[in-house]
Amino acid sequence: MDRVHIVSWLLTRKCNLRCSYCRIIRNYKDLPEEYPSISQYHRNEMSTKMVLDGLYGFKMHNPDSFHILYGGEPLLRKDLPEIVQFCNDNNINYTIITNNSDEVQPMIENLLTSVNYVIGLTSSVDPIIFDKSATGDRVEKSISGLKKLTDFKGIVKDLVAEITVDNDTLPFLYPLVEKLTELDINSDITFIDIAKSKYYDFSNVTDENLLVQKSEAVQNELQKIIDAKLNVHMANVLLPKMYLSLPSNMDCKIEKNIHNLTIDSDGTIRLCLRVRGVDTPNKINIGNLFEKNWNLNPNLKPQLIKDKLHYCRLCNWSCQIMSQIISENSNMLGSLVHENKRSKN
């Protein structure tokens, strides 16, 4: 039976930043005619009730499901405190992915004072901060982001640094994760991926030279992190699987088990985070996703399979690998969720 372990919520496609690598917030070049425009997304953004009903549905479907709340910038949603408090009240596991920029700091402070606690907060930190030859805005932003993340120690229960690694920053991965571990911050590592067609509407990165290739050096770098027992979610099983998927060859195998779902900002069900798809969002949304017994709508899988066949060119998305591991060994869910629960005590 299909069982969803990780749910990604694109709560909004609005953002206070205009990062060049992000397709989520704009009408990008060659936007497929089957995809909505950014103005349509803004007009049809999920209501609070739709989000809360969806969270409740997943809770009934799988009480241990883990939810990633992001966008866009999720803190731009004025109802985020209500959404977070609902998760707290119903023991729903989550993290909020934010750009943690200066502009959203008051929104984070408002969130922290509006709810009884925040379980997870995730923000990007670039390994380039350990490149002594690097200068410029990218370095300054990452240093600032790390400092802001540490400011929430003792306030947010599970602080996570999201680390995206490419060929240029791979040599600086270990020192960054080591430093984060010293600061008692968890790391989520992912290798950079590219948009392989116009239907990949998440990332605007297309330079294949940035992809990390399999090599003994890469394998050794990941093994060093495992051997040092640094704070990386599910490191022992996740990092070896990620390595085997390099440079971008992971098959999520959702035709066997729907272990991971992504909800778009208009409430439709996407093929995945990387690809919206066509058939799935046209047929399935958060309102008709569950049957009365909280099993998934039986029409979902055929649509996902159809979209996967037509639009998927594989990827190396760590979240899909993570949920696939959990679907193969349910005991592994504790490696992700219990770290949050442990920090709540």
Render pLDDT for 147-190 as a digit per residue (tens, 0 to 9).
999 999 989 999 999 999 999 999 999 999 999 999 999 999 99
> Considering just the CA atoms, what is the radius of gyration of the chain in Å?
19
Q: Which residue positions in the chain have pLDDT lower than 50? A: 338-345
Hey, which CATH number is domain 6-344, 3.10.310, 1.10.10, 3.40.50, 3.20.20? 3.20.20
pLDDT confidence of residue 333 = 59
Quick: pLDDT tens for 198-251: 999 999 999 999 999 999 999 999 999 999 999 998 999 999 999 999 999 999
Q: Is the pTM of this model over 0.75?
A: yes
